[in-house]
Structure 1
């Protein structure tokens, strides 16, 4: 693991009108890690991801990616620098085929060879997408649509992958499968920042985790330590089990 963080959030503040959504939060992400952002609805998790990807402008603080500030860059510039987001609710293009959806994710890729390599990489993670590559995306199951959303975010070779609630609405077995694939993606060298309500399962793959509570970081630590934290389990995680 590199000694220098690949991504740092320093004293980040975000306001929605008069409401302070993020209150001077600090997060450090190292290359190849899975870092989880946990907490209840309204805690500031999605706001953090949207600020990282440039959709929301911070009021104060800095976001440092590979040693350079990116908090004033446009979203497309942040994407071309190597940060991709799979948004909450999937937001796939339902009228397009699986392959067309994936191609949209590769809009910054200029080389045809790289594009083909990226297709193969995504199909390797998600073989069902290869089987369904000519199928209209709206006809996919919920789990397949989620795989497509993650696959689309991988199509431009990101260094950091932002995942917002990838398990939302999925059956428990599918949740395990998706999170295992996320773990494999990280092992292959893509750093992952994941927002999840399913904290118990997420902590099994997270190297490090932050718990957000109404815009503050109330707790942080290595994933396995937080999974065994009884006070945290009662407050946020439900039962941490298999």
Structure 2
């Protein structure tokens, strides 16, 4: 479905991504893991059209998208829930969700999607009229994911969804990500929380200083002690 082929990207003289290849098959969860500065977020920005490529190609269903404008890419179904949530703090929960469906002209379709989002995130329904800036960190992350889902994505890009959240909330977020995938959403997730991510990922890539240094099935990498200690942080 989504293919990243030998892409290079840089901030001035700083080479952030140095020729990586990633394959995101339809209906799968693919993880991109690594520490801060590895190039993970830059890769997502490139996919979304927010970061120009120096070299390489990005394809969705064999159609090149790397030269398209971000809004065109979003219209094709690649939708990102960004790092840091970036919700509209002065708007209500409901208004934030409606922003996510800005390209949808059918009010009925918007209402149906919102009902679906509230099925995933009952707390958002309880707070639908609440100002988003007053939500807890976990609730704001749920809202960021919900807003992305309102665009009815073919591929959902999740950038550090567990960042800054308490362990119990992190567990909830990952359970919801798995449920979304079980119901047919293709997901590319960028995370530092490697152990939790590998438990749900079908396949994973490990980045270091702009390069892919390791890849494999999530369950295989989860059992690799060298990977856990050297690249993915901590013990199981």
- Pairing 1:110–2:114 present: no
CA contact (8 A) 1:227 1:240 kept: no
Distance in 2 of aligned mates of 1:189 and 1:15: 34
- The one of 70, 81, 84 equivalent to 2:79 is 84
Please report the TM-score for the alignment, with normalisation by the length of structure 1: 0.96
- Pairing 1:21–2:16 present: yes
Gap runs ≥5 in structure 1: 1-5
Distance in 2 of aligned mates of 1:28 and 1:192: 11
Residue range with higher mean Cα deviation, 204-213 or 230-239: 230-239
Distance in 1 of aligned mates of 2:73 and 2:179: 24
Aligned to 2:173: 178
Distance in 2 of aligned mates of 1:73 and 1:212: 25
Gap runs ≥5 in structure 2: none
Give the match's secondary structure for 2:87. Answer: coil
- The one of 114, 126, 143 equivalent to 1:131 is 126
Q: How far is 1:239 from its partner?
A: 3.4
Give the match's secondary structure for 2:30. Answer: strand
Q: CA RMSD in A?
A: 0.7
Q: How far is 1:237 from its partner?
A: 2.2
Written as runs of structure 1 = structure 2, the 5 A alignment for 1:79-228 is 79-228=74-223
CA contact (8 A) 2:229 2:235 kept: no
Give the match's secondary structure for 1:130. Answer: helix
Distance in 2 of aligned mates of 1:240 and 1:65: 36
Give the match's secondary structure for 2:200. Answer: coil
Q: How far is 1:240 from its partner?
A: 4.4
Distance in 1 of aligned mates of 2:21 and 2:4: 5
- Pairing 1:56–2:51 present: yes
CA contact (8 A) 2:38 2:208 kept: yes
Aligned to 2:66: 71
